[in-house]
Structures are given as structure tokens and as C-alpha cells.
């Protein structure tokens, strides 16, 4: 389930952040990222735990089909309808994430269910923004003449998604602590004791690697992008992406373990 959620969120997130990249990145950039998103979602579907007719699964399959069609049409055909195809694919993916969040948080309080939806959407945007920024930084080796403003733009998207992610996690932690002892059936009654126990090391690793690390690294990336040092920015983004991956995998594990969407 952890792998299913992580891969689905990463795949949908990559597709989502493609809309923030200029066409000047080239046909191969979009083809590579669309193919990567489709592959990640396909692997996620292999780890699915839902029944074939589950609405979240159906929406994810629709998103996968749209992304495959988008990938197949890049640089080949359907020039005018490609934006509609990728928009439809991203929309179906977002619907899948919302339905996943509602299913995972079933039986919980209304605030926690809403926070779970926000957590899934912000996780996808955070993962996708980091991965797309990293690949775009690498693309300056493919297209050396690519203007630096494109990298700066996607780094801004990455930073914005990080801020939203931190806000959602902060709200979830606050809610988990505030509801401590009031809703044990919802799985939040043990959250305070969990994060202060030995098992809580996973929570603190999630905060350190998944939030504090990316906050520092994204700032360094922005500063290097401002001085047009694309290679340095890309190197930092590789490390940044690794920390985000570690943090988001731990977040999925903690959600299933505590029912708190950190």
C-alpha cells in the first residue's frame, strides 16, 4: 500500500507540474516526463490493493490511459488536442488521489479526512515539482541554450509546493495532537504517545528528511539558479529529490500506522 500510494502520487505529480514548463524545453523533455509519469502509475497499479471496480482505481486507470495517449502523440500528431488530453489525464489523477484519501481515512473525523485529502494532493505536487525541476535542470545539458528563467520558474513551483506541504503537515500534526485521546476509533488517539516513543523515530525522520532538508536545499537551488549555475542547481536538486522521496515514503507509512496524514 505504501508503494502504491507513493508511486501513484509521484506519477500524477509529474504530469501535473508539466503544465508549468515552457514548450521551449523541447519535445523530448515532455515525451520523457510523460513516459516517466505513465510508467510510475503503471507500476503503482501493479501494487494496487483495491478491487477492480473501485472508483479510485478506475480514475487512476483513466489517468494512465490519457497519459499514454499524450506521450504517444507528442511530436507526432494531435498537436491541438494534446493540452486537452494532458488536462484530462491530470484531472482524472487528481480525482483518484481524492478518492484514495477518502478511502484511507474512512471512519475518521471530518477534519482529519479533509486533511488527508489535502495531504495527498500536496504530496503529489511536492513530489512532482521536485522531480520535474531536477529533470529540467539536467535538460540544460541537452539544450545548453535554454534560458535560465525556465529553471527559475520551476524552482519557484517547487518552493511553493513545499510551503503548501509544510502547512498541511503542520495542520495534520496539530489536529493529531489536539484530538489525542478523544477519538481512539479513528486511530488518532495514540499519535502523541507514538511520536514520543521509540517508534516515533520514523516521524522525526520524516520531518528532518522530508521537510527541513528540502526547505534548505530548495533555498540553495534558488540561489544557484539566480547566478545561472545550472549544473550546481541540478546537483542540489538530485539531493533534494532524494530527501523528498524519503520523506514522502515515510509519510505514507505513518499515515497507515497512525491515521494522521503527516
- Digit-coded pLDDT (tens) for 147-190: 999 999 999 999 999 999 999 999 999 988 886 544 444 444 47
Q: How many CB atoms lie within 10 A of CB 235?
A: 17
Find the DSSP H helices in 47-190.
55-73, 82-104, 110-139, 148-178
Q: Quick one: average pLDDT of 188-200?
A: 77
- Digit-coded pLDDT (tens) for 58-111: 999 999 999 999 998 887 666 678 888 989 999 999 999 999 999 998 888 888
| pLDDT, averaged across the chain | 90
Report the chain's C-alpha Rg in angstroms. 19
Q: Quick one: average pLDDT of 193-208?
A: 89
Tell me how many domains the chain contains. 1
CB 66 within 8 A of CB 92: yes
* pLDDT at site 79: 66
* pLDDT at site 153: 94
Q: Which residue has the cell 505536487?
A: 125
Q: Quick one: average pLDDT of 22-47?
A: 93
* pLDDT at site 74: 82
CA distance 63 to 47: 16
pLDDT band for position 48 (cuts 50, 70, 90): confident
Whether 123 shows a pLDDT value over 80: the answer reads: yes
CATH code: domain of residue 216: 1.20.1630
Q: What angle do CA 59, 60, 65 make, to 5 degrees?
A: 100
Domain that holds residue 192: 2-258
* pLDDT at site 198: 85
Cα dist from 248 to 11, 115, 119, whole Å:
13, 15, 10
- Digit-coded pLDDT (tens) for 201-227: 999 999 999 999 999 999 999 999 999
* pLDDT at site 186: 44
Beta-carbon contacts of 114 under 8 Å, excluding residues fewer than 6 positions away, are none
* pLDDT at site 88: 94
Percentage of the chain surpassing pLDDT 70? 92
* pLDDT at site 234: 92
Better pLDDT: 126 or 74: 126
Amino acid at each position: 500500500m505504501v508503494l502504491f500510494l507513493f508511486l501513484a502520487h509521484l506519477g500524477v505529480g509529474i504530469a501535473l507540474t508539466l503544465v508549468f514548463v515552457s514548450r521551449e524545453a523541447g519535445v523530448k523533455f515532455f515525451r520523457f516526463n510523460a513516459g516517466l509519469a505513465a510508467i510510475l502509475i503503471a507500476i503503482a497499479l501493479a501494487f494496487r490493493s483495491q478491487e477492480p471496480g473501485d472508483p479510485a482505481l478506475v480514475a487512476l486507470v483513466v489517468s494512465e490511459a490519457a497519459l499514454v495517449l499524450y506521450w504517444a502523440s507528442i511530436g507526432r500528431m494531435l498537436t491541438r488536442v494534446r493540452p486537452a488530453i494532458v488536462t484530462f489525464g491530470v484531472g482524472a489523477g487528481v480525482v483518484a488521489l481524492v478518492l484514495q484519501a477518502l478511502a484511507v481515512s474512512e471512519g475518521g473525523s471530518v477534519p482529519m479526512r479533509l486533511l488527508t485529502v489535502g495531504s495527498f494532493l500536496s504530496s503529489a505536487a511536492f513530489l512532482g515539482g521536485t522531480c520535474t525541476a531536477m529533470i529540467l535542470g539536467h535538460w540544460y545539458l541537452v539544450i545548453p541554450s535554454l534560458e535560465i528563467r525556465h529553471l527559475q520558474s520551476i524552482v519557484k513551483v517547487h518552493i511553493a509546493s513545499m510551503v503548501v506541504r509544510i502547512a498541511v503537515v503542520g495542520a495534520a500534526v496539530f489536529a493529531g495532537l489536539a484530538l489525542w485521546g478523544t477519538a481512539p476509533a479513528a486511530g488518532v488517539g495514540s499519535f502523541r504517545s507514538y511520536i514520543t516513543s521509540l517508534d516515533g523515530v520514523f516521524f522525526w525522520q520524516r520531518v528532518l528528511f522530508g521537510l527541513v532538508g528540502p526547505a534548505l536545499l530548495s533555498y540553495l537551488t534558488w540561489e544557484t539558479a539566480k547566478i545561472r549555475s545550472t549544473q550546481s542547481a541540478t546537483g542540489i536538486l538530485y539531493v533534494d529529490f532524494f530527501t523528498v522521496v524519503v520523506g514522502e515514503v515515510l509519510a505514507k507509512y505513518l499515515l497507515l500506522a497512525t491515521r494522521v496524514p503527516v
